[in-house]
Structure 1
Amino acid sequence: MITTWRGFPPELKRELSALASDDGLNVPIGELITALLRFGLKEFQHGRLTLTPVQKRTSFTLPLEGAK
């Protein structure tokens, strides 16, 4: 199984990589991420993990005419 994990903050990626490293659990990072995602999904399905959506405000602006 291939697991991709884009969009995670760099600090979290560093912490997870350190946990998976030879000095930590000594497992491939993809296996660790897959295990954590499966655990979280199982807990959510059993109602032991609740997620609260938070709106993210995004704004787009157009450059002034002639500016690049």
Structure 2
Amino acid sequence: QRYYKMANRSYLDFAETMGFIPKAEPIVFQLYCEPMQRFRLAARGHGRVLPPEAERSRIDTYMDPLPFWYT
């Protein structure tokens, strides 16, 4: 039960009986985040609702739809 908890049948059954998850189904990780891309596109001027001008560069820089590390 220690490894690959997102797909380990034994762990998923245990987690369901303990109430950690609603169903004993494999957990799918979503790497690409569509809502963050919509924020980024809004900062670039697309769409009906646009963020304030002062925040656009920050949103465009940090709202990357793929995970990344920055310092």
TM-score (norm 1): 0.26
Bigger RCO (CA 8 Å, 6+ sep): 2
